[in-house]
Amino acid sequence: MKNSERYIIAFNQIDKFLSNELGQNGHYVGFTQAVNKVAKNNRIVNRFKEDLQEFAVLRNAIVHERTDPEYVIAEPHDSTVEKIEKILSELTEPKKVIPTFSQEVKSFKVTDSLADVLNMIKYTHYSQFPVYDDEEFKGLLTANGITNWLAETVDDDLLSREETTLEDMLSYEEGTENYKFVSRDISIYEAEDIFKDQVNKEDRIDAVLITHHGKPDESLLGIISAWDIIDIP
């Protein structure tokens, strides 16, 4: 199959996806206009918005300027065809946060001590720890919160890593909620946007916590940090 044929097949499937997203009920909307409309509510389309608009230009060159069925004015490069097929896959079968970020999450109890967390950091280099009171989620302890606590208590001669509990530590976290719970079914791009949306806000998100339905009282399936998001291609 020619590259131009692969390209048109992928383009038409994306066009159909956009139409379904709009729910046009027979009313046709041009491809570029559809991209602009869907991008307002679909984070993945918004992410690839410029690429999709460029695809429309090439598609027009291939289809509209044919002089006969066997002739195309532009035969797409292999990398271009691979790119549009990859974006089609991302749109129709987007990578989800589970299994992408599935892992055993190290959590603690409010009655655990600072020493317990420091030992965990020493051996795992983790820097974010969900804290629970029995089954109730109480907050996310981070390396930044620990640093804030140390700075506030540096002059305390009675400083004890064994006696200081995590319940004491949580009040030193910056912001009231430095975390967000999400469902296992959201895409990795939706998770990425959670961090992006916090860039210019006073209360930043340190981690996204993944449960089955995005509820705090469910078992943790994974955790995403801002550093994890950087590795998303």
For 63-124, the DSSP string reads HTT-SSTT--S----HHHHHHHHHHHHHHHSPPBHHHHTB-PPP-EETTSBHHHHHHHHHHH
The two structure tokens encoding residue 131: 């804290």
Give the chain's end-to-end CA distance (angstroms, integer). 28
For residue 69, pLDDT beyond 60: no
The answer to whether 112 touches 165, Cβ cutoff 8 Å, is yes
More confident residue, 135 or 65: 135
pLDDT at residue 208 greater than cutoff 90: yes
Integer Cα distance of 89 and 83 in angstroms: 10
How many residues appear in the chain? Answer: 233
List all residues 6 or more positions away from 15 whose beta carbon is below 8 Å from its beta carbon: 31, 34
Q: What is the mean pLDDT of the chain?
A: 88
Mean of pLDDT values over 157-168: 77
Angle of helix 3-22 relative to helix 31-39, nearest 10 degrees, comes to: 50
% of the chain at pLDDT higher than 90: 59
Instruction: Give me the pLDDT at residue 66, please.
Output: 56
Question: What is the pTM for the complete model shown?
Answer: 0.80
